[in-house]
Structure 1
Amino acid sequence: MASIDFDDVLVHIGERGRYQTIMYYLLCIPATIPAAFLAFTQVFVSAAPDHWCRVPQLDALGLAPELQRPLAIPQARAPDGRPAGFEKCQVYDVNFTELLGGAGWAAGGAPQQLPPLPPANSSWAAVPCAYGWNYDNRDYDVTLVTKFNLVCDDGWWPSTSTTFFYVGSLFGNVLFGWIADKWGRRFSFFLMIFIEVPLSIMTAFSPNYVVYTVFRTINGLFFPAIYQIPFILALELMGPRYRTFAGMVICMFFALGMSLLALLGYLLRNWFTLSLATSVPFVLLFSYYWIIPESPRWLLSKNRIDEAEEIVQTMARVNGKKIPKNFLRTMEVESKKKMINGDHCSDKNISATPMDILRHPNIRKKFFILAFDWIANAVVYNGLSYNTTNLGVSDYLAFFIGGAVEIPSYIITWYAMDRWGRRWVLCLTMLLGGIACVSCMFVPEHPVWVTVSLAMIGKFGIAASFAVFYVFVGELLPTVIRSQAMGIASFIAGIGLLGFPYIVYLAVYNRVLPLIIMGTLSVAGAIASIFLPETLNIHLPQTLEEGEAFGVDFKLLSCPTRQRSRQHSAVDYIPAHKMANGMIDTAESESSESHQDLPNPRFV
């Protein structure tokens, strides 16, 4: 590994010049829009519109679907016994040809010449659907659910497909993180693009839902790595002062990508065209092969100084800075002289293992609280995103609003956490989201906009809490164990995340039940977060001894009061709220450790 700190290089060529700005916004595109489409397109592709049993006898008589339903479908009942619309999976066991024929109805009769329909009789026996279903086409022309009739007894398929997608992401996250560290960020990025884009296009041609689920599982291998690796590549080109900006802006881009997905779904209305629209355009990303460089920070970590020199010279030229030839070689010589003279020391070589998390009681307590909060944030965030189809309003509108409310949540959080600390902002945002969701059980079902508004407040709160949480988790853990502990915690959260599709599926029994479960989980996470020490304005722990001592005697109701410096970031920000499985990059963490001795590190 070269002895050059790339942050020192950036002092000479610009921490965020024209070159970094161009690369950052170019990399924001694959890190946000394809990633958002990949994660959430199934919300619309596998949507289950309102449905009821098909009755061929009534079809033969030419009876319109809106007239068939009151006659042939039993009334559904809420748990309190009140009417709750029509049953979705049952039909009256009646010979409707005989019933309507005796009432003067006949096939082919003019509607204005036919007598009124006889009323349905609640005493009639009800049986499961035997001839398929009719579907409400107000929001969708065709989805995979309507194409393959994945309702009633087969209604578990979409939830299972979503679960397998996240199973794929668990393993893909580890795989591509390893590839990015071993063979480079650029190689890992293009390997993903060249496989994921064609595979997403192939998914649109799935002949059945089993094949679709297989494709989605393989596609899961690329999420969240397709979000994080381009971001890491962009982040490694910037100086510490601008990582806060980079982290928050990319969160906003992702939220805009979600809103764009809702708009495309509304305009296209067909799962096949939506699948193509959210995959084919990204063939243009292949052109990045001639634009995006390797991370010079990673090249230096591999002692590939000459390759890094070419990129650094280009950065300096585009940024309008002048540096001599062989600039990095000169810096390497100077750095080695300092090390020989004893001017350079580091705690980075102190080894630690995951077992050290369990050996130290205070570190262990903080780790388990953080792991639980990670599960809560991941399940509630993703659950609320997928649950928009169960809110009783247009799926597209609810999903669009759900993406849009994230933008102000990041702005407010950005402001609040630097002034009132991480612990209380995390607690209050999780509490806000949780109480809003739980409150849905206390409001009437109609008007539905009351429930929708509370769900959107819940989404606002949980998006804000995740932005705070990922900063908090990095600050609480000591340097020597940070990457390993975060990797383990994120993997645990990823396992917990596998259950959220089935929480969302509970809406078939009660529309607000998923909101109640997710709200309770968020409130529990808020309460747990109170038992973590504040990190604002605090020197961050580096060794295991410092980590064990950090926060032992903190006061439960304490608040940060000291003013803070705004010079540097302590740890690079890698947003995780799009997926539980955060890919922790060791080289990037190491590159920022030199700033941890500052009293007022800044995180986002």
Structure 2
Amino acid sequence: MKFDELLFSHLGEMGKYQKIQFVLVCLPCIFCAMHSLSWTFTAVGVTHRCAVENETKYSPYWAEAASEHINITSSCVDDKWNPVDPSDPSARCLYESCTYSNNQSCSSYVFDNSHVRQSAMGRWDIVCDRAWIKAFIQSAYYFGQMAGSMTFGILGDRIGRKKCFFVAIALQILCGFVQSVAPTWWLYALVRAGTGFSHPGASVISVVIGTELMGPKYRKLASICTALCMALGQCILGTVAMFLTDYQWLHVALTAPSLLFISYWWLIHESTRWLVSIRRFDKADHILQKAAKTNGVTLPDQWWNLLDGEEKTEKKERKEEKSPANNASCFDLLRTPVLRRRSLVVFYLWPVVSMVYYGLSMKSDILGGDLYVNFIIGGLIEMPALLLVYLLLDRVGRRPIIVGGYMLTGVCLLSNLLISKTAPRYIAILQLLASRGAISATYTGIYAFTPELFPTTVRNTGMGLCSTIARVGAISASYICFWIADRYGKAWMIIPFGGMSILAAVLILIFLPETMGKPLPSTIEEIEGSTSDKRESELDSLTETPSPEFD
């Protein structure tokens, strides 16, 4: 008897025990989302100008002496920071940010802290020719996350899910508190990379613990619930940051609640599936007996004896998988024409969806409106978008959802360039909401679509490469949002994001098949030989080229 069959026939696919465990392990995802995007508010843009003689960065921004040495721009605001007519004598006009009136660059600055008590941007002068530091620090998080994905993926199978989770939580708490007191920007970047490193261990590993006790029909719902927790984390982050404008205290507020997860050592249990795989039946039985008691059911005595046949089969399968004939590599993804075409397309889709998703999250005011309000509403709009994907994914298919998501995102972004500056602000907000909801739906859909495009022999390899390449998109978004767009204008973000999204939709329509309701391919030969779609067969004859030799 297989472990799944024994487990769900006696314990149930979603009993009280599974529900409690899953809710508990989903909570860390909320804080992972907050840490991931906290730099948006800890380094929030603060109006600044060059410092004149005897001034410090904490001197009054609106100083009469400053107007003698620094040019005043045509952007004028009232006491509530609303644009007003420059001819109004009560208007306060912004100073030139980086140069004196003689066009010489400055090395010290004065910041207007009337709206933000303290920003990392102001503390370390991350402005003007040092603006690249802002992008570098955020990209450090994603570099750490990339390394963490590979590390915790291996450790989770070697030392167990629960231990990995606690290592990640401890690292996240330590780095979170150090970020609040880091004296230099480079030390801050280092511990931020450590926070990113902990992300996969704190979120992915914890969800694995919960989902490995769920029945197959609930696992898709589990992935949606995880994404909903991430969206909820964004909403909480935006709300807290709106009222807590000192970046050091903001880090403390985001990190301190994670201390409660220490109690998880007694509240959550190790994955019984992992314990069975290493033949620790005594510990697995102890956990499953608790689960059975909570669910009001009973398990057979010495149930592990029923798995002996399966264990032998699994050992045999693992032995066969290690044989040279079954050792697939990443190069196999590019050997044959159909699989090569699919691989190249999805290797483009993943960094694009990651870049646009994180870009719109980090720069939620790029289309107009208030940064904090847009950020919160953007997180809220993700929730119905995710539920819509859950309801439609197995009804209308993968391709319509993903193509529609990419296309809607691209159209909304590019159309924003055509809107006049005097247009009502709600138009830009609606465009942002449509873009955020569409790209969130796309991100969720692509997780279901991509594994169905690869054969079993290279599916894990393909998904691993997609996940790694997606980090490249997030890193690129950091530089585009926090450096290029700030320096050259929003068009430098909107045009590449919108154009690449539309191109992604076109590539899917031309090169990728619908996979809903079709059996998962097992081998590369099955993909190459079983393509019955006439259009795909014609494309094969047009695009087929000699396979590269890697032997």
TM-score by length of 2: 0.86
SS at match of 1:424: helix
Task: Give the letter for the 1:506 counterpart.
Answer: I
**Cα 1:194–1:525 shift into 2, 3 Å:** same
Task: Give the letter for the 1:482 counterpart.
Answer: R
Counterpart Cα distance in 2 of 1:326 and 1:25: 29
Structure 1 gaps of 5+ residues are 78-82, 94-124, 557-604
* Residue of structure 2 equivalent to 1:73: 71
Tell me the CA shift for residue 201 of structure 1: 0.9
User: Is the CA contact 1:347–1:542 (under 8 Å) kept in the aligned structure 2?
Assistant: no
- Report the structure, 1 or 2, having the larger helix content: 2
User: Is the CA contact 1:445–1:451 (under 8 Å) kept in the aligned structure 2?
Assistant: no
**Cα 1:336–1:254 shift into 2, 3 Å:** closer
Aligned 1:264-279 pairs, distance under 5 A? 264-279=240-255
Cα deviation code 1:411-456 (max 9, x no counterpart):
1122222221101211011100111111111112344443333122
For the pair 1:319 / 2:327, whether they are aligned, the reply is no
For the pair 1:545 / 2:525, whether they are aligned, the reply is yes
For the pair 1:16 / 2:24, whether they are aligned, the reply is no
Aligned 1:375-524 pairs, distance under 5 A? 375-446=351-422, 447-504=424-481, 505-508=483-486, 509-524=488-503
SS at match of 2:45: coil
SS at match of 1:279: helix
* Residue of structure 2 equivalent to 1:238: 214
* Residue of structure 1 equivalent to 2:508: 529
User: Is the CA contact 2:144–2:197 (under 8 Å) kept in the aligned structure 1?
Assistant: yes
More divergent stretch after superposition (414-423 vs 254-263): 414-423
Percent identical among aligned pairs is 28
User: Is the CA contact 1:440–1:512 (under 8 Å) kept in the aligned structure 2?
Assistant: no
Equivalent of residue 306 in structure 1, options 282, 286, 297: 282
Counterpart Cα distance in 2 of 1:172 and 1:339: 28
Tell me the CA shift for residue 88 of structure 1: 4.1
Structure 2 gaps of 5+ residues are 76-85, 87-92, 537-551
Equivalent of residue 282 in structure 1, options 222, 243, 258: 258
* Residue of structure 1 equivalent to 2:173: 197
SS at match of 2:416: helix
Counterpart Cα distance in 2 of 1:43 and 1:332: 51
**Cα 1:76–1:371 shift into 2, 3 Å:** farther
Tell me the CA shift for residue 20 of structure 1: 0.2
Counterpart Cα distance in 1 of 2:113 and 2:462: 48
Tell me the CA shift for residue 56 of structure 1: 4.9
SS at match of 2:479: helix
Counterpart Cα distance in 1 of 2:45 and 2:148: 29
User: Is the CA contact 1:56–1:131 (under 8 Å) kept in the aligned structure 2?
Assistant: no
Tell me the CA shift for residue 206 of structure 1: 0.5
Tell me the CA shift for residue 223 of structure 1: 2.4
User: Is the CA contact 1:427–1:526 (under 8 Å) kept in the aligned structure 2?
Assistant: yes
Cα deviation code 1:3-58 (max 9, x no counterpart):
7433442221111100000000000101x112112201111011122333344589
Counterpart Cα distance in 2 of 1:348 and 1:307: 28
For the pair 1:49 / 2:27, whether they are aligned, the reply is no
SS at match of 2:177: helix
Task: Give the letter for the 2:73 counterpart.
Answer: Q
**Cα 1:254–1:130 shift into 2, 3 Å:** closer
**Cα 1:346–1:58 shift into 2, 3 Å:** closer
Max Rg structure: 1
* Residue of structure 2 equivalent to 1:584: none
Counterpart Cα distance in 2 of 1:246 and 1:43: 28
User: Is the CA contact 2:3–2:307 (under 8 Å) kept in the aligned structure 1?
Assistant: no
SS at match of 2:199: coil
Counterpart Cα distance in 2 of 1:434 and 1:351: 40
User: Is the CA contact 2:367–2:428 (under 8 Å) kept in the aligned structure 1?
Assistant: yes
User: Is the CA contact 2:413–2:498 (under 8 Å) kept in the aligned structure 1?
Assistant: yes
**Cα 1:132–1:296 shift into 2, 3 Å:** same
TM-score by length of 1: 0.79
- What's the C-alpha RMSD, in Å, of the aligned pairs? 2.9
**Cα 1:90–1:317 shift into 2, 3 Å:** closer
User: How many residues are matched?
Assistant: 510
Aligned 1:113-152 pairs, distance under 5 A? 125-129=102-106, 131-135=108-112, 137-138=114-115, 140-152=116-128
Tell me the CA shift for residue 469 of structure 1: 0.4
Counterpart Cα distance in 1 of 2:209 and 2:385: 25
